[in-house]
Amino acid sequence: MTPLLELDHVTRRFPLRRGQTVHAVEDVSLRLGPGETLAIVGESGCGKSTVARLAVGLITPTLGTVRIDGTPVRARMDRATRRHVQFVSQNPWSALNPRKTIGHSVGQPLAVHGLCSSGAERAARVTELLEQVGLPAQYAARRPSGVSGGELQRITVARAIAAQPRVIVLDEPTASLDVGVKATVINLLLDLRTSLGLSYVLITHELDIARHLATHVAVMYLGRIVEQGPAEKIFTAPRHPYTRMLLAAIPVPDPTRRGLTALTGEVPSAVYPPPGCAFHPRCPYVADACRDQVPLLLAIGDRTSACLRDSEIPAHA
Ligand SMILES: Nc1ncnc2c1ncn2[C@@H]1O[C@H](COP(=O)(O)OP(=O)(O)OP(=O)(O)O)[C@@H](O)[C@H]1O
Ligand SMILES: [Mg+2]
């Protein structure tokens, strides 16, 4: 079956001055099917937002292809296909024009994609969209400065669903919100997933949120996916040393994770990634081969993991 969204061996590098290059995303392949929520997790700077921006066509790959419903994303692709993948960013304040009313911002995709035939129809649809995200119709007349952070994030979600997408790429959708508000936004995302039949790419460094929402997980380290598979497998029996150490940070008593060592050390520079396995300088299982051989992502059951020592490391070490 054709995935709704696919990254096929995508690399994105950013040139810096003096001939240096940031290796933001290296050879990443992802597929998102109907009803799935793919969480992309990893420490700061590992390339999560770059993957998000590639997935929605805000930036183009240096190598590889992004496809929406089988169609390669190009600068001048048809709007009907492109609107199937919408974006919600971490910062709702910068996502909305402060000078325009909320009604204008939410109604914009309706106009851009020709989804309403009259101004009256558009206004009615904006009311409906605000209700879908739990806000009263009167909010249409307000400006972003007149609402709270949680409400603003609901408005960016309303704007995303206005385009009637099949996929929403959520880049840290709750990172800027207070703890109590976070939960209400997460519940809204869960409700909309069911009621609208949406699929999500959920970028987050909050592992408990990924655990709550995700059906699938991709773990990134320094631009590469190191482990990928069904969420339940990854969370209950992580395989890659990096995943094991990352998950050790979740503060829940779970006997299957006893003995996991928490991460130490810093993420290396994406301008000068370490040779071999990029995780080797921090890995407790490092062997000589890890220092010069880049491990391939290999299938192990229904997941993939990229570790040269995979078969030697005990399941619950
Ligand atoms: N436009 C750009 N120009 C140069 N370097 C960039 C650019 N965008 C991202 N980078 C670099 O690419 C790497 C990946 O950045 P990215 O923002 O994708 O990480 P992230 O996983 O989203 O991090 P965070 O969790 O902090 O949001 C980083 O080293 C970052 O500095
Ligand atoms: Mg980011």
Give the chain's domains with CATH numbers.
5-217 (3.40.50.300), 238-312 (no CATH)
Region 300-305: mean pLDDT is 95
The tokens 């919600």 sit on which residue? Answer: 88
Report which of 149, 131, 88, 148 is spatially closest to residue 140, judged by C-alpha positions: 131
Mind listing the pLDDT tens digit for each residue in 252-287?
A: 555 555 555 778 888 999 999 999 999 999 999 999
What pLDDT sits at residue 16? 94
Q: To the nearest 10°, the Cα dihedral for 233, 234, 238, 244?
A: -160
* pLDDT tens string 187-202: 999 999 999 999 999 9
Output the residue whose Cα is nearest ligand 1's atom 31.
Answer: 45
Choose one of 21, 28, 41, 48 to mutate for the ligand 1 pocket test, by most ligand atoms within 8 angstroms of C-beta.
48
Helix (H/G/I), strand (E/B), else coil: 156: helix
Whether the pLDDT of residue 235 is over 80: the answer is yes
Ligand 1 neighbours, Cβ below 6 Å, are 14, 22, 24, 44-50, 205, 270
Q: Could you tell me how far CA 142 lies from the centroid of its own chain?
A: 30
Q: Spell out the residues 6+ positions from residue 15 whose beta carbon is closer than 8 angstroms to its own.
A: 21, 22
In this structure, are strands 37-41 and 216-221 parallel, antiparallel, or unpaired?
A: parallel
Nearest-atom number in ligand 1 for the CA of 220 is: 21
In the numeric block, which tokens belong to residue 197? 């039949």
What Cα–Cα distance (Å) separates residue 117 from each residue in 121, 158, 311? 7, 19, 60
pLDDT digits (tens, 9 = 90+) for 6-52: 999 999 999 998 899 999 999 999 999 999 999 999 999 999 999 99
Q: pLDDT (tens digit, 9 = 90+) per residue, 95-153?
A: 899 999 999 999 999 999 999 999 999 999 999 999 999 999 999 999 999 999 999 99
